[in-house]
């Protein structure tokens, strides 16, 4: 059971067996079936409606078949809401030739052979294998296997990679259908296709036409540019937006480094975004701060990040951000205390900081939806 309804105000609703997801939505990343430093109750407190887990990492450890025996990734991590898994392609190719790790990855027309970053053992991913792994993991939304082409790849290689991605998209659909479009736990799985083409307008448009012509449940934008280069990301969206379907959710993979990024992406028509940045930045002392005003993100701090290690916060009794409804701010933890925890490398800091950053991004998505609904009702 999967459905998507887009409203006139450009908000939307995704329906899965495990629950509904309001769009636009920011998805926290739980790489190894955990959002770093947070348990399932902590994640629930951020009001996240869906989280992402990583196929590559869960395949290597503890193993997709083991996760299946444990009831699937949702039950495994005690999360009763929707989940999405990527295909593992990005992680595999990030080790590959385009990024200086050619000895770890060998690409052929049928798939990819790679060495584990954990122990050096050799493994093989094909579209069929990626679909079977994701069937075992049991997420509500799964991703087609694709080749994540680096921006610096030449035109000839980008062309070859795009053709492979398109063939693999068709093979992913065939295996998804062969698997009955259901997980190993018997729940419905939706499959999203991924548009590639690096920084070529012609190839991006060609890919958009091809991927959107296939019976995918949703459409994603992938590639090195997406999320890492915001100017480039918005350019890619502009190139292909007239080709994107109105009746399917649009997902920018790996986007959400800074609050302003998701505001711009959602304004450009994106429905879904995910990023590891909120928890990664939190662990490194960067706490989100700012407000949505008139459709724009404003903050007194560069990139919307408060550096809790700063000398100015010594003796500061205030919470991270007044008006923030996250557990950390509502409980009254002061900037000075969080600075102390951070400088002391206390484990509790990572939890408190991560709760704030994840809730911040989820709340920003909520505010964007409310602003759209308000504008639509007053027009």
Give the E-state strand segments of the chain in sequence order.
3-6, 12-16, 19-23, 25-28, 51-53, 83-85, 105-107, 112-115, 122-125, 141-143, 190-195, 218-221, 250-252, 272-275, 286-288, 291-293, 296-298, 305-307
- Quick one: tokens of 272? 């879904």
**Residue 252: strand pairing partners:** 221, 273
Q: How far apart are CA 123 and CA 44, in angstroms?
A: 35
Q: How far apart are CA 82 and CA 99, in angstroms?
A: 33
Cα-Cα end-to-end distance for the chain: 34
CA angle 375, 377, 379 (to 5 degrees): 65
Report which of 147, 142, 141, 153 is spatially closest to residue 126, judged by C-alpha positions.
147
| 308-341 burial: b if 16+ Cβ within 10 Å, else e | beeeebeebeebbbeebebbbbeeebebebbbeb
Active site residue 154: no
What tokens appear for 60 in the block?
Answer: 């290597």
Annotated catalytic residue: which of 64, 140, 271, 274?
A: 274
Of 42, 64, 86, 146, catalytic: 86
78 contact partners, CB below 8 Å, separation of at least 6: 39, 40
* Whole-angstrom distance, CA of residue 57 vs CA of residue 33: 9
258 is catalytic: no
Asked if residue 282 lies in contact with residue 328, where contact means CB atoms within 8 angstroms, the answer is no
Query: Contact at 8 Å (CB) between 67 and 75?
Result: no
Active site residue ranges: 86, 274
């Amino acid at each position: 059971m999967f459905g998507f309804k887009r409203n006139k105000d450009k908000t939307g609703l995704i329906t899965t067996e495990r629950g509904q997801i309001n769009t636009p939505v920011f998805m926290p990343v739980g790489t190894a079936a955990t959002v770093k430093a947070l348990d399932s109750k902590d994640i629930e407190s951020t009001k996240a409606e869906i989280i992402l887990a990583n196929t590559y990492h869960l395949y290597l450890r503890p193993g997709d078949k083991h996760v299946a025996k444990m009831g699937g990734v949702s039950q495994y991590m005690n999360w009763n809401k929707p989940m999405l898994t990527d295909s593992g392609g990005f992680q595999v190719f990030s080790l590959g030739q385009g990024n200086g790790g050619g000895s770890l990855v060998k690409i052929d027309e049928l798939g990819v052979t790679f060495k584990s970053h954990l122990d050096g053992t050799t493994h093989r991913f094909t579209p069929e294998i990626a679909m079977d792994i994701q069937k075992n993991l049991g997420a509500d939304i799964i991703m087609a296997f694709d080749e994540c082409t680096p921006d610096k790849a030449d035109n000839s290689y980008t062309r070859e990679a795009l053709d492979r991605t398109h063939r693999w998209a068709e093979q992913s659909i065939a295996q998804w259908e062969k698997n009955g479009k259901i997980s190993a736990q018997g729940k419905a799985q939706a499959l999203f296709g991924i548009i590639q083409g690096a920084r070529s307008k012609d190839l991006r448009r060609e890919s958009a036409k091809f991927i959107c012509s296939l019976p995918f449940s949703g459409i994603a934008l992938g590639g090195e540019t997406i999320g890492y280069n915001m100017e480039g990301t918005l350019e890619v969206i502009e190139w292909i937006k007239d080709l994107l379907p109105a009746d399917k959710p649009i997902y920018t993979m790996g986007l959400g480094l800074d609050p302003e990024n998701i505001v711009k992406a959602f304004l450009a028509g994106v429905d879904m975004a995910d990023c590891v940045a909120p928890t990664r930045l939190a662990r490194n002392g960067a706490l989100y701060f700012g407000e949505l005003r008139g459709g724009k993100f404003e903050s007194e701090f560069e990139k919307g990040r408060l550096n809790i290690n700063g000398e100015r916060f010594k003796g500061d009794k205030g919470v991270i951000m007044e008006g923030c409804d996250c557990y950390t701010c509502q409980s009254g933890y002061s900037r000075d205390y969080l600075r102390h925890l951070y400088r002391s490398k206390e484990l509790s800091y990572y939890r408190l900081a991560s709760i704030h950053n994840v809730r911040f991004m989820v709340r920003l998505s909520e505010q964007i939806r409310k602003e759209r609904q308000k504008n639509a009702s007053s027009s």
